[in-house]
Structure 1
Amino acid sequence: MAGSIPTKINMINQTRKKAANDTKLVAIILTAIALIFFVVMLLVPLISVFLKAFEQGASVYYAAISDPMAMKAIKLTLTTIAIVVPINTTFGLIVAWAVAKFKFKGKNLLITIIDLPFAISPVVAGLIFVLLFSTSHGLLAPLLTSLGIKIIFAPAGIVIATLFVTLPFVARELIPLMEAQGTSEEEAALTLGASGLKTFWLITLPNVKWALLYGIMLTAARAAGEFGAVSVVSGHIRGLTNTLPLHVEILYNEYKFSAAFAVASLLTIIAIINLIIKNIADWRIKQQLKND
């Protein structure tokens, strides 16, 4: 009986060792699959964009991105980002603060409304704005016509469509973090006599700065690359309502492949910069949650 105990211990150790080896093998296989998928689906296309962009030389690349129509598309894209990001950042901060720090009726409805752009196709969203703001058959056509305001097939429509599709990003990054942090620090500040606004600037905002940056970068990236909703409301008017993604489509349809990929490389560069900043912000958020 006593002799069988070491045998059982050896069997248990062997079983554990086999299980550990199997787990390690599974981890290696899954990691290899993930890396292969990353290389095939992301890295290779990314490299291909730049190879195709410089296929005919640096002079053709520079000519494509410095073309007057391309410059106007770049200007419109950057202008749209400059308008959309501050508005949705402010909106996201206000909504996240209200949802995470206060209890009120209709909170679930508000969260549902925030998530609405995720549920609606961008193309459908664009069609909704056409039905609302078109001066020929929109619901608000008489009012817009009387005021001399043109939204559809104009930069204003692009801004509105981009505002809609990027609306949730800042709020959705801030709400979970604010809820995890609770309200103890804000309550302590209010007890000591701080005003609500001062509490927000000195307590709430510094605690969520990295999540806020993460949301801002997501918003900027989506605003730069949005195609569906913008395509519907823009009218594809060269030099007026063409953003960078729309300009890439036009160049590609005209079989100007090197020029199309040259302009597309600008969007790729924006995406890479956003990705780097997002990863830094994500790492800092995890460090902050770990320290808390």
Structure 2
Amino acid sequence: MPDTRDIRRRRGPVTYALRIFAITYLAVLVVRPLFEVGKRTFAPTEQGADGGVGAFLERLQDPSVTYAFSLTATVAFWAVLINLLFGVGISLLITRYRFPGRRVLSVLIDLPMSVSPVVVGLALVLAYSTGQGWFGESLASVGIFIIGTTPGLIMATAFVSLPLVIREIVPVLQEIGIDAELAAHSLGASGWQTFRRITLPSIRWAVIYGVVLSLARSLGEFGAVKIVSPGAELRGETATILIQNRYTNYEESVAYAAAFVLVLASVLALVVVALIRKEDA
């Protein structure tokens, strides 16, 4: 069997062709579009407005932009917190227990990744709207409104990003097995003590990795929140909806500035993930 290091050292036309193909693919679909966003963010506008860092910061101080990013941060925070709690719980349920419907639950977890976020938003409207929703009228009777409010945005965002946490934790739980946990139980440790001292330290990097990915996904969510949100200025307008509204209203400088902030957030998430992978290795 050939040594892996020998395979890595091999050079040939196929290797170089694959490298060129990968670099070209990334340049066309990722690097170039993001470069254009950054370039236009700091460029003077056609209407004569100044460019540069000062103009960029000034656009971000617009009340509607501040509101949009504040709402986005709030929604992302609660969505990630929900995903963290339920993600760890569901991961333990799938890997540590056997029960009827376990495989069905595992399949349903991946549903948000395979269904369009727009469909997710529509499903929430059908379930929780006050006019035609299954639960909307009952909740409204006690003063709880989902659609068109921040809780609806949180539900939509949490739904589409939940699998990112679970699919990072489940493989790690399966890999570490249950021997250490059984040993802790045999020594008299409670369930909480076993989780805190044995299980959680073993999956901590997977949890952090999943949380970072979930956060990045939550900050950039558009389809589901577009359906459940009013999407109006200073009323349910998240950062992604702000970008669409400003771009379609020919306020492109504000749209570019908001998009650039989201790009920076995504890049920061990738850096954190890379550092986590290095630490875990």
The TM-score normalised by the length of structure 2 is 0.90
Distance 1:60 1:212, change over 3 A: same
Amino acid at match of 1:206: P
1:163 aligns with 2:158: yes
Question: How far has the Cα of 1:111 moved from its partner?
Answer: 0.7
Cα distance between partner residues in 1 of 2:143 and 2:99: 40
Question: How far has the Cα of 1:73 moved from its partner?
Answer: 0.4
Residues 211 and 282, structure 1, Cα contact 8 Å, conserved in 2: no
For residues 20-31 of structure 1, what are the structure 2 equivalents within 5 Å? 24-31=12-19
Residues 136 and 146, structure 2, Cα contact 8 Å, conserved in 1: no
Cα distance between partner residues in 1 of 2:145 and 2:184: 48
Question: How far has the Cα of 1:39 moved from its partner?
Answer: 2.0
Question: Any unmatched runs of 5+ in structure 1?
Answer: 1-18, 288-292
2:97 to 70, 87, 102: 102
Distance 1:184 1:66, change over 3 A: same
Cα distance between partner residues in 2 of 1:173 and 1:22: 32
Aligned counterpart, 1:15: none
For residues 67-106 of structure 1, what are the structure 2 equivalents within 5 Å? 67-106=62-101
Question: How far has the Cα of 1:76 moved from its partner?
Answer: 0.3
Aligned counterpart, 1:9: none
Amino acid at match of 2:251: K
Q: Deviations over 1:15-70 (max 9, x none)?
A: xxxx9999632111101211121222211222211110001213331222110000
Amino acid at match of 2:80: V
1:47 aligns with 2:35: yes
Q: Give every structure 1 segment of 4 or more consecutive aligned residues whose post-TM-superposition deviation is greater than 4 Å.
A: 19-23
Question: How far has the Cα of 1:113 moved from its partner?
Answer: 2.0
Residues 72 and 219, structure 2, Cα contact 8 Å, conserved in 1: yes
Cα distance between partner residues in 2 of 1:43 and 1:127: 33
1:266 aligns with 2:254: no
1:238 aligns with 2:226: no
Aligned counterpart, 2:107: 112
For residues 176-255 of structure 1, what are the structure 2 equivalents within 5 Å? 176-255=171-250
Distance 1:177 1:237, change over 3 A: same
Aligned counterpart, 2:116: 121
When structure 1 is superposed on structure 2, of 98-107 and 84-93 the one drifting more is 98-107
Cα distance between partner residues in 2 of 1:43 and 1:60: 24
Larger gyration radius, structure 1 or structure 2: 1
Amino acid at match of 1:140: F
Which is richer in helix?
A: 1
- Partner-residue secondary structure (3-state), 2:12: helix
The Cα RMSD (Å) is 1.9
Cα distance between partner residues in 2 of 1:20 and 1:148: 63
